[in-house]
Amino acid sequence: MPAPEAEFLDLVHENAARLRKIARVYTESAEGQRDLYQDILVALWRALPSFNGEAQRSTWLYRVALNTALSHERKRAVRSKATLSDDHPLWMDGLPTPGAGLEQKERLDRLYAAIDRLDTMDKTLVMMYLDDASYAVMADVLGISENYVGVKLHRIKKQLATWLEDTLT
Amino acid sequence: MNLDDAKALWSSDNEPTDPDMSTQSLSQSELLQQVKAQSAAFDRTIRQRDWTESVVAAAVSVFFGWLAWHDPSTLVTAGALLVVAGSALIFGRLRYARTRFAAPPVNEPVRQRLQRERAKVDAQIRLLSSVLWWYIAPLLAGLLLMTVGDNGWSVFTVVYGTVVIAGAAAIYVMNQRAVERDLRPRRETLTQLLNQVDSSADTQNDETGIAKRGDAIGG
Protein backbone atom coordinates (compact mmCIF):
# COMPACT_ATOMS: atom_id res chain seq x y z
CA MET A 1 0.00 0.00 0.00
CA PRO A 2 1.43 3.46 -0.87
CA ALA A 3 2.81 5.47 2.03
CA PRO A 4 0.17 8.23 2.24
CA GLU A 5 -2.66 5.72 2.50
CA ALA A 6 -0.90 3.74 5.20
CA GLU A 7 -0.02 6.93 7.09
CA PHE A 8 -3.60 8.13 6.90
CA LEU A 9 -5.01 4.85 8.18
CA ASP A 10 -2.51 4.79 11.04
CA LEU A 11 -3.44 8.32 11.96
CA VAL A 12 -7.16 7.61 11.93
CA HIS A 13 -6.93 4.40 13.91
CA GLU A 14 -4.63 5.93 16.52
CA ASN A 15 -6.87 8.94 16.96
CA ALA A 16 -10.37 7.63 16.25
CA ALA A 17 -11.59 8.18 19.82
CA ARG A 18 -10.10 11.67 19.96
CA LEU A 19 -11.72 12.69 16.68
CA ARG A 20 -15.06 11.25 17.73
CA LYS A 21 -14.93 13.23 20.99
CA ILE A 22 -14.21 16.42 19.06
CA ALA A 23 -17.23 15.68 16.86
CA ARG A 24 -19.40 15.11 19.92
CA VAL A 25 -18.28 18.32 21.64
CA TYR A 26 -19.03 20.46 18.59
CA THR A 27 -22.29 18.92 17.42
CA GLU A 28 -25.38 17.83 19.30
CA SER A 29 -27.19 15.35 17.10
CA ALA A 30 -25.89 11.92 16.15
CA GLU A 31 -26.31 12.85 12.50
CA GLY A 32 -24.32 16.06 12.97
CA GLN A 33 -21.57 14.12 14.73
CA ARG A 34 -21.36 11.66 11.84
CA ASP A 35 -21.17 14.50 9.32
CA LEU A 36 -18.47 16.30 11.24
CA TYR A 37 -16.49 13.10 11.80
CA GLN A 38 -16.58 12.44 8.05
CA ASP A 39 -15.60 16.04 7.31
CA ILE A 40 -12.63 15.74 9.67
CA LEU A 41 -11.48 12.51 8.00
CA VAL A 42 -11.66 14.16 4.58
CA ALA A 43 -9.83 17.25 5.88
CA LEU A 44 -7.09 15.03 7.33
CA TRP A 45 -6.71 13.18 4.05
CA ARG A 46 -6.54 16.40 2.06
CA ALA A 47 -4.12 18.00 4.52
CA LEU A 48 -1.85 14.97 4.79
CA PRO A 49 0.67 16.25 2.20
CA SER A 50 1.10 19.37 4.37
CA PHE A 51 2.35 17.32 7.30
CA ASN A 52 6.07 17.81 6.99
CA GLY A 53 7.14 16.76 10.45
CA GLU A 54 7.88 20.31 11.59
CA ALA A 55 4.94 20.28 13.97
CA GLN A 56 4.27 17.36 16.29
CA ARG A 57 1.83 14.89 14.85
CA SER A 58 -0.67 15.56 17.65
CA THR A 59 -0.42 19.33 17.09
CA TRP A 60 -1.04 18.89 13.39
CA LEU A 61 -3.99 16.58 14.01
CA TYR A 62 -5.59 18.92 16.56
CA ARG A 63 -5.22 21.86 14.20
CA VAL A 64 -6.85 20.10 11.27
CA ALA A 65 -9.62 18.57 13.38
CA LEU A 66 -10.40 21.71 15.38
CA ASN A 67 -10.29 24.04 12.38
CA THR A 68 -12.70 21.72 10.60
CA ALA A 69 -14.96 21.44 13.66
CA LEU A 70 -15.01 25.21 14.23
CA SER A 71 -15.80 25.85 10.60
CA HIS A 72 -18.56 23.23 10.72
CA GLU A 73 -19.96 24.80 13.89
CA ARG A 74 -19.95 28.31 12.41
CA LYS A 75 -22.05 27.18 9.46
CA ARG A 76 -24.52 25.65 11.89
CA ALA A 77 -24.41 28.67 14.22
CA VAL A 78 -25.28 31.14 11.45
CA ARG A 79 -28.23 28.96 10.46
CA SER A 80 -29.63 28.54 13.96
CA LYS A 81 -28.50 31.74 15.63
CA ALA A 82 -32.01 33.11 16.01
CA THR A 83 -33.22 30.12 17.98
CA LEU A 84 -30.27 29.14 20.16
CA SER A 85 -29.64 30.59 23.56
CA ASP A 86 -26.01 31.56 24.26
CA ASP A 87 -26.32 30.16 27.75
CA HIS A 88 -26.89 26.46 27.30
CA PRO A 89 -28.63 24.80 30.22
CA LEU A 90 -26.45 22.25 31.95
CA TRP A 91 -29.17 19.67 32.16
CA MET A 92 -30.26 18.56 28.77
CA ASP A 93 -33.87 17.53 28.21
CA GLY A 94 -34.52 13.92 28.97
CA LEU A 95 -31.48 13.36 31.18
CA PRO A 96 -32.17 12.02 34.66
CA THR A 97 -31.18 14.09 37.67
CA PRO A 98 -27.86 13.15 39.30
CA GLY A 99 -27.97 10.25 41.68
CA ALA A 100 -25.59 8.00 43.53
CA GLY A 101 -25.46 5.23 40.97
CA LEU A 102 -24.92 7.07 37.74
CA GLU A 103 -23.89 4.82 34.94
CA GLN A 104 -20.76 5.50 32.93
CA LYS A 105 -22.76 6.72 29.95
CA GLU A 106 -24.77 9.12 32.06
CA ARG A 107 -21.65 10.45 33.74
CA LEU A 108 -20.11 10.97 30.33
CA ASP A 109 -23.25 12.72 29.10
CA ARG A 110 -23.02 15.08 32.03
CA LEU A 111 -19.32 15.72 31.43
CA TYR A 112 -20.10 16.60 27.81
CA ALA A 113 -22.99 18.80 28.99
CA ALA A 114 -20.63 20.64 31.35
CA ILE A 115 -18.11 21.12 28.52
CA ASP A 116 -20.95 22.39 26.34
CA ARG A 117 -21.48 25.30 28.75
CA LEU A 118 -18.04 26.65 27.89
CA ASP A 119 -17.25 29.14 25.16
CA THR A 120 -16.43 27.64 21.78
CA MET A 121 -12.71 28.30 22.12
CA ASP A 122 -12.58 27.22 25.76
CA LYS A 123 -13.92 23.86 24.66
CA THR A 124 -10.83 23.37 22.49
CA LEU A 125 -8.55 23.96 25.46
CA VAL A 126 -10.55 21.70 27.76
CA MET A 127 -10.51 18.85 25.27
CA MET A 128 -6.74 19.10 24.94
CA TYR A 129 -6.40 19.36 28.72
CA LEU A 130 -8.52 16.22 29.22
CA ASP A 131 -6.38 14.50 26.57
CA ASP A 132 -3.31 15.40 28.66
CA ALA A 133 -1.81 17.61 25.95
CA SER A 134 1.06 19.84 27.05
CA TYR A 135 0.80 23.63 27.25
CA ALA A 136 3.25 23.80 24.33
CA VAL A 137 0.91 21.72 22.14
CA MET A 138 -2.14 23.78 23.16
CA ALA A 139 -0.26 27.00 22.41
CA ASP A 140 0.87 25.68 19.01
CA VAL A 141 -2.61 24.51 18.11
CA LEU A 142 -4.31 27.77 19.01
CA GLY A 143 -1.49 30.12 17.99
CA ILE A 144 -1.16 31.83 21.35
CA SER A 145 1.58 31.91 24.00
CA GLU A 146 2.03 29.18 26.60
CA ASN A 147 1.61 31.77 29.35
CA TYR A 148 -1.73 32.78 27.93
CA VAL A 149 -2.75 29.12 27.72
CA GLY A 150 -1.92 28.84 31.41
CA VAL A 151 -4.00 31.87 32.34
CA LYS A 152 -6.99 30.76 30.29
CA LEU A 153 -6.81 27.15 31.41
CA HIS A 154 -6.63 28.15 35.07
CA ARG A 155 -9.91 30.02 34.72
CA ILE A 156 -11.57 27.30 32.64
CA LYS A 157 -10.55 24.50 35.00
CA LYS A 158 -11.94 26.41 37.94
CA GLN A 159 -15.22 26.94 36.12
CA LEU A 160 -15.47 23.33 34.97
CA ALA A 161 -14.56 21.96 38.42
CA THR A 162 -17.36 23.98 40.00
CA TRP A 163 -19.89 22.72 37.51
CA LEU A 164 -18.71 19.13 37.85
CA GLU A 165 -18.78 19.26 41.66
CA ASP A 166 -22.26 20.71 41.59
CA THR A 167 -23.60 18.06 39.30
CA LEU A 168 -21.53 14.91 39.33
CA THR A 169 -21.15 14.21 43.03
CA MET B 1 -16.27 14.60 40.96
CA ASN B 2 -13.01 16.46 40.49
CA LEU B 3 -11.02 17.19 37.35
CA ASP B 4 -8.84 14.09 37.71
CA ASP B 5 -11.98 11.96 37.75
CA ALA B 6 -13.19 13.87 34.69
CA LYS B 7 -9.90 13.11 32.93
CA ALA B 8 -10.23 9.42 33.74
CA LEU B 9 -13.82 9.43 32.54
CA TRP B 10 -12.80 11.26 29.36
CA SER B 11 -10.04 8.79 28.53
CA SER B 12 -12.38 5.88 29.17
CA ASP B 13 -14.66 7.15 26.40
CA ASN B 14 -13.08 5.08 23.67
CA GLU B 15 -15.94 3.07 22.27
CA PRO B 16 -18.05 4.64 19.54
CA THR B 17 -21.79 4.44 20.21
CA ASP B 18 -22.56 5.11 16.56
CA PRO B 19 -21.40 2.35 14.20
CA ASP B 20 -20.99 4.90 11.39
CA MET B 21 -18.32 6.64 13.44
CA SER B 22 -16.39 3.50 14.15
CA THR B 23 -13.35 2.99 12.00
CA GLN B 24 -13.62 -0.69 12.91
CA SER B 25 -16.99 -0.99 11.18
CA LEU B 26 -15.28 -0.33 7.85
CA SER B 27 -12.40 -2.21 6.33
CA GLN B 28 -9.27 -0.16 5.67
CA SER B 29 -9.92 -0.12 1.96
CA GLU B 30 -13.57 0.91 2.46
CA LEU B 31 -12.58 3.76 4.73
CA LEU B 32 -9.95 4.97 2.27
CA GLN B 33 -12.34 4.62 -0.63
CA GLN B 34 -15.00 6.64 1.17
CA VAL B 35 -12.62 9.44 2.14
CA LYS B 36 -11.04 9.59 -1.31
CA ALA B 37 -14.47 9.67 -2.97
CA GLN B 38 -15.58 12.62 -0.82
CA SER B 39 -12.32 14.42 -1.45
CA ALA B 40 -12.63 13.86 -5.20
CA ALA B 41 -16.27 15.07 -5.14
CA PHE B 42 -15.12 18.28 -3.49
CA ASP B 43 -12.43 18.82 -6.17
CA ARG B 44 -14.97 18.04 -8.89
CA THR B 45 -17.42 20.64 -7.55
CA ILE B 46 -14.72 23.33 -7.59
CA ARG B 47 -13.60 22.34 -11.11
CA GLN B 48 -17.20 22.37 -12.39
CA ARG B 49 -17.88 25.79 -10.90
CA ASP B 50 -14.71 27.26 -12.45
CA TRP B 51 -15.43 25.57 -15.77
CA THR B 52 -19.05 26.83 -15.86
CA GLU B 53 -17.92 30.37 -15.09
CA SER B 54 -15.30 30.26 -17.83
CA VAL B 55 -17.71 28.83 -20.39
CA VAL B 56 -20.40 31.42 -19.61
CA ALA B 57 -17.87 34.28 -19.83
CA ALA B 58 -16.53 32.92 -23.14
CA ALA B 59 -20.04 32.40 -24.59
CA VAL B 60 -21.14 35.92 -23.62
CA SER B 61 -17.95 37.38 -25.12
CA VAL B 62 -18.33 35.44 -28.39
CA PHE B 63 -22.03 36.24 -28.81
CA PHE B 64 -21.88 39.94 -27.96
CA GLY B 65 -18.52 40.32 -29.70
CA TRP B 66 -20.12 38.95 -32.86
CA LEU B 67 -23.02 41.42 -32.43
CA ALA B 68 -20.62 44.33 -31.95
CA TRP B 69 -18.75 43.34 -35.12
CA HIS B 70 -21.80 42.83 -37.34
CA ASP B 71 -24.47 45.30 -36.19
CA PRO B 72 -24.48 48.57 -38.14
CA SER B 73 -25.83 50.62 -35.21
CA THR B 74 -23.17 52.46 -33.20
CA LEU B 75 -25.29 52.23 -30.06
CA VAL B 76 -25.69 48.46 -30.43
CA THR B 77 -21.95 48.08 -31.04
CA ALA B 78 -21.14 50.23 -27.99
CA GLY B 79 -23.66 48.31 -25.86
CA ALA B 80 -22.36 44.90 -26.98
CA LEU B 81 -18.76 45.94 -26.29
CA LEU B 82 -19.85 47.14 -22.84
CA VAL B 83 -21.44 43.74 -22.14
CA VAL B 84 -18.26 41.95 -23.29
CA ALA B 85 -16.11 44.21 -21.09
CA GLY B 86 -18.57 43.77 -18.19
CA SER B 87 -18.51 39.98 -18.40
CA ALA B 88 -14.71 40.00 -18.50
CA LEU B 89 -14.71 42.25 -15.43
CA ILE B 90 -17.14 39.94 -13.59
CA PHE B 91 -15.10 36.87 -14.47
CA GLY B 92 -11.90 38.58 -13.31
CA ARG B 93 -13.37 39.91 -10.05
CA LEU B 94 -14.88 36.56 -9.08
CA ARG B 95 -11.74 34.62 -9.94
CA TYR B 96 -9.50 37.10 -8.14
CA ALA B 97 -11.71 37.13 -5.04
CA ARG B 98 -11.49 33.34 -4.87
CA THR B 99 -7.81 32.88 -5.59
CA ARG B 100 -6.76 35.66 -3.22
CA PHE B 101 -8.09 33.70 -0.24
CA ALA B 102 -7.99 30.28 -1.85
CA ALA B 103 -8.27 27.34 0.53
CA PRO B 104 -6.47 28.55 3.67
CA PRO B 105 -4.38 25.70 5.04
CA VAL B 106 -6.48 23.71 7.45
CA ASN B 107 -3.39 22.80 9.47
CA GLU B 108 -2.49 26.35 10.50
CA PRO B 109 -3.02 27.54 14.08
CA VAL B 110 -6.67 28.15 14.95
CA ARG B 111 -6.18 31.85 15.68
CA GLN B 112 -4.40 32.46 12.35
CA ARG B 113 -7.09 30.62 10.44
CA LEU B 114 -9.85 32.60 12.12
CA GLN B 115 -8.09 35.84 11.19
CA ARG B 116 -7.71 34.66 7.61
CA GLU B 117 -11.34 33.64 7.39
CA ARG B 118 -12.47 36.99 8.75
CA ALA B 119 -10.33 38.78 6.18
CA LYS B 120 -11.97 36.61 3.52
CA VAL B 121 -15.46 37.49 4.78
CA ASP B 122 -14.50 41.19 4.79
CA ALA B 123 -13.43 40.87 1.15
CA GLN B 124 -16.74 39.15 0.31
CA ILE B 125 -18.68 41.92 2.03
CA ARG B 126 -16.77 44.54 0.02
CA LEU B 127 -17.37 42.59 -3.17
CA LEU B 128 -21.14 42.28 -2.67
CA SER B 129 -21.52 45.82 -1.36
CA SER B 130 -20.02 47.15 -4.59
CA VAL B 131 -21.90 44.70 -6.84
CA LEU B 132 -23.73 47.60 -8.49
CA TRP B 133 -20.52 48.92 -10.07
CA TRP B 134 -18.68 45.81 -11.19
CA TYR B 135 -21.58 43.47 -11.95
CA ILE B 136 -24.86 45.25 -12.53
CA ALA B 137 -23.96 48.62 -14.07
CA PRO B 138 -21.83 47.46 -17.06
CA LEU B 139 -24.31 44.74 -18.11
CA LEU B 140 -27.34 46.95 -17.53
CA ALA B 141 -25.87 49.90 -19.43
CA GLY B 142 -24.80 47.60 -22.28
CA LEU B 143 -28.21 45.94 -22.60
CA LEU B 144 -30.06 49.29 -22.47
CA LEU B 145 -27.77 50.82 -25.10
CA MET B 146 -28.33 47.84 -27.39
CA THR B 147 -32.12 48.05 -26.92
CA VAL B 148 -32.20 51.77 -27.73
CA GLY B 149 -29.88 51.22 -30.69
CA ASP B 150 -32.05 48.44 -32.02
CA ASN B 151 -35.55 49.85 -31.36
CA GLY B 152 -35.11 53.57 -30.80
CA TRP B 153 -37.17 55.24 -28.04
CA SER B 154 -40.23 53.03 -28.56
CA VAL B 155 -42.81 51.57 -26.18
CA PHE B 156 -40.96 48.26 -26.40
CA THR B 157 -37.75 49.97 -25.32
CA VAL B 158 -39.45 51.53 -22.30
CA VAL B 159 -41.15 48.26 -21.24
CA TYR B 160 -38.06 46.14 -21.85
CA GLY B 161 -35.86 48.72 -20.11
CA THR B 162 -38.18 48.76 -17.10
CA VAL B 163 -38.12 44.95 -16.85
CA VAL B 164 -34.31 44.85 -17.13
CA ILE B 165 -33.90 47.61 -14.52
CA ALA B 166 -36.34 45.80 -12.17
CA GLY B 167 -34.31 42.60 -12.63
CA ALA B 168 -31.08 44.46 -11.88
CA ALA B 169 -32.66 46.02 -8.78
CA ALA B 170 -33.72 42.57 -7.58
CA ILE B 171 -30.17 41.25 -8.05
CA TYR B 172 -28.83 44.21 -6.08
CA VAL B 173 -31.30 43.71 -3.22
CA MET B 174 -30.57 39.96 -3.06
CA ASN B 175 -26.85 40.64 -2.79
CA GLN B 176 -27.30 43.21 -0.03
CA ARG B 177 -29.57 40.79 1.82
CA ALA B 178 -26.87 38.14 1.57
CA VAL B 179 -24.45 40.59 3.17
CA GLU B 180 -26.80 41.33 6.06
CA ARG B 181 -28.18 37.84 6.62
CA ASP B 182 -25.14 35.71 6.00
CA LEU B 183 -21.84 37.57 5.81
CA ARG B 184 -22.22 40.06 8.67
CA PRO B 185 -23.38 37.38 11.15
CA ARG B 186 -20.50 35.19 9.99
CA ARG B 187 -18.07 38.05 10.56
CA GLU B 188 -19.54 38.68 13.99
CA THR B 189 -19.11 35.01 14.90
CA LEU B 190 -15.49 35.03 13.76
CA THR B 191 -14.82 38.19 15.79
CA GLN B 192 -16.38 36.60 18.86
CA LEU B 193 -14.20 33.52 18.42
CA LEU B 194 -11.10 35.66 18.03
CA ASN B 195 -12.03 37.58 21.16
CA GLN B 196 -12.37 34.27 22.97
CA VAL B 197 -9.04 32.94 21.78
CA ASP B 198 -6.98 36.02 22.33
CA SER B 199 -6.54 39.22 24.24
CA SER B 200 -8.20 42.20 22.59
CA ALA B 201 -4.99 44.15 22.11
CA ASP B 202 -3.23 41.43 20.10
CA THR B 203 -6.34 40.69 18.05
CA GLN B 204 -6.76 44.32 17.10
CA ASN B 205 -3.14 44.59 16.02
CA ASP B 206 -3.41 41.51 13.85
CA GLU B 207 -6.76 42.56 12.41
CA THR B 208 -5.29 45.92 11.42
CA GLY B 209 -2.31 44.14 9.89
CA ILE B 210 -4.49 41.86 7.79
CA ALA B 211 -6.79 44.72 6.76
CA LYS B 212 -3.77 46.74 5.64
CA ARG B 213 -2.35 43.81 3.71
CA GLY B 214 -5.79 43.22 2.13
CA ASP B 215 -6.12 46.87 1.10
CA ALA B 216 -2.67 46.82 -0.42
CA ILE B 217 -3.56 43.77 -2.50
CA GLY B 218 -7.09 44.88 -3.29
CA GLY B 219 -6.06 48.41 -4.26
End-to-end CA distance of chain B: 57
Question: What is residue B95's predicted lDDT score, i.e. its pLDDT?
Answer: 85
Question: Residue B122's CB: how many other CB atoms inside 10 A?
Answer: 19
- Phi, psi angles (nearest 5°) of residue B68: -60, -35
Q: Is A37 in contact with B3 (Cβ distance < 8 A)?
A: no
In 3D, which of A17, A122, A126 has the Cα closest to residue B3?
A126
In whole angstroms, what separates CA B127 from the centre of its chain? 9
Range of the domain at A156: 86-169
Q: Are residues A55 and A119 in the same domain?
A: no
Which residue of chain B comes nearest to A166, CA vs CA?
B1
A158 three-state secondary structure: helix
Question: Any idea what the CATH number is for the domain that residue A100 is in?
Answer: 1.10.10.10
From B79's Cα to the closest Cα of chain A, the distance in A is 41
Distance between first and last Cα of chain A: 50
**Shared domain check, A169 and A90:** yes
Nearest of B85, B81, B61, B86 to residue B71 by alpha carbon: B81
Domain termination residue (choose one: A84, A107, A125): A84
Q: Which of A16, A23, A168 is the closest to B1 by Cβ?
A: A168
Suggest the residue from A21, A56, A67 to mutate for an interface test with chain B (most B CBs closer than 10 A).
A67
Q: Is B152 left (phi over 0), alpha (psi -120 to 50) or beta?
A: left
- Identify whether the C-beta of residue B76 lies closer than 8 Å to the C-beta of residue B149: yes
> Which residue among B13, B23, B186 places its CB closest to the CB of A78?
B186
CATH of the domain at A8: 1.10.1740.10
Are A59 and A91 in the same domain? no
Q: Quick one: which of A147, A124, A37, A154 has its CA closest to B34?
A: A37
* Amino acid letter for position B23: T
B residues 132..151 contacting A (CB < 8 A): none
Pair A99, A68 in one domain: no
pLDDT of residue B169: 96
The alpha helices in chain B, defined as continuous H runs, are 3-12, 28-70, 74-100, 110-129, 131, 137-151, 155-178, 184-197, 200-218
Contact between chains at B6 and A164 (C-beta distance less than 8 A): yes
Number of H helices and E strands in chain A, helices first, is: 7, 0
Total domains in the fold of chain A: 2
User: What helix, strand, coil percent values describe chain B, rounded to 5?
Assistant: 85, 0, 15
Query: DSSP labels for B108-119?
Result: S-HHHHHHHHHH
Burial of A96 (0-12, 13-18, 19+ CB in 10 A): exposed
CA distance A148 to chain B (A): 8
d(C-alpha A29, C-alpha B155), whole Å: 59
For residues A24 and A67, state if they share a domain: yes
**Residue of A77, A89, A28, A156 lying closest to B191 (CA atoms):** A77
Give the separation between CA A124 and CA A120, rounded to whole angstroms. 7
- DSSP line for B82-96: HHHHHHHHHHHHHHH
Interchain contact, A16 vs B22, CB within 8 Å: yes
Same domain, A32 and A94: no
Quickly count: other Cβ atoms within 10 Å of residue B19's Cβ. Answer: 10
Query: Looking at beta carbons, which residues of chain A come within 8 Å of B190?
Result: 74
In this structure, the answer to whether residues A4 and A80 fall within a common structural domain is: yes
Residue A137's closest chain B neighbor by CA? B109
Question: Is the pLDDT assigned to residue A161 strictly greater than 80?
Answer: yes
Burial environment of residue A100 by CB neighbours within 10 A (0 to 12, 13 to 18, 19 or more): exposed
- B9: contact with A, CB 8 A cutoff: yes
- Select the residue from B7, B110, B200 to test the A interface by mutation, using most A Cβ atoms within 10 A: B110
Break chain B into its structural domains and give their ranges. 28-218
Question: Is B197 in Cβ contact with A144 (below 8 Å)?
Answer: yes
Residues A108 and A57 in one domain: no
C-beta of residue B85 within 8 angstroms of C-beta of residue A26: no
Q: What is the pLDDT along chain B (219 residues), one digit of tens a residue?
A: 778 888 888 888 776 655 555 555 567 778 888 888 888 888 888 788 888 988 998 999 999 999 989 888 899 999 999 999 999 999 998 888 888 776 667 888 999 989 988 998 999 899 999 999 999 999 999 999 999 998 888 999 999 999 999 999 999 999 999 999 999 999 999 999 999 887 533 443 444 444 433 333 332
Interchain contact B29–A (C-beta under 8 A): no
Cβ pair A9:B28 closer than 8 A: yes
**CB contact (8 A) between residue A124 and residue B32:** no
Q: Are residues A80 and A94 in the same domain?
A: no
CA angle B125, B130, B136 (to 5 degrees): 125
What is the SS3 assignment for A82?
coil
CB atoms within 10 A of CB B192: 16
The per-residue pLDDT for A93 is 34
To 5 degrees, how large is the angle CA A134–CA A139–CA A145?
120
Identify which of A12, A67, A122 has the shortest CB distance to residue B196. A122
Write the ipTM. 0.78
Instruction: Please give the C-alpha separations between residue A2 and each of A5, A8, A9, A15, in angstroms, as whole numbers.
Output: 6, 10, 11, 20
Cα A42 to Cα B164: distance, rounded to the nearest angstrom: 44
- B-chain residues near A130 (CB < 8 A): 6-7, 10-11
A75 & A25 share domain: yes
Are residue A157 and residue A117 in the same domain, yes or no? Answer: yes
pLDDT tens sequence across A11-50: 888 898 999 999 999 998 888 888 999 999 999 999 888 8
pLDDT at B85: 94
Same domain, A6 and A55: yes
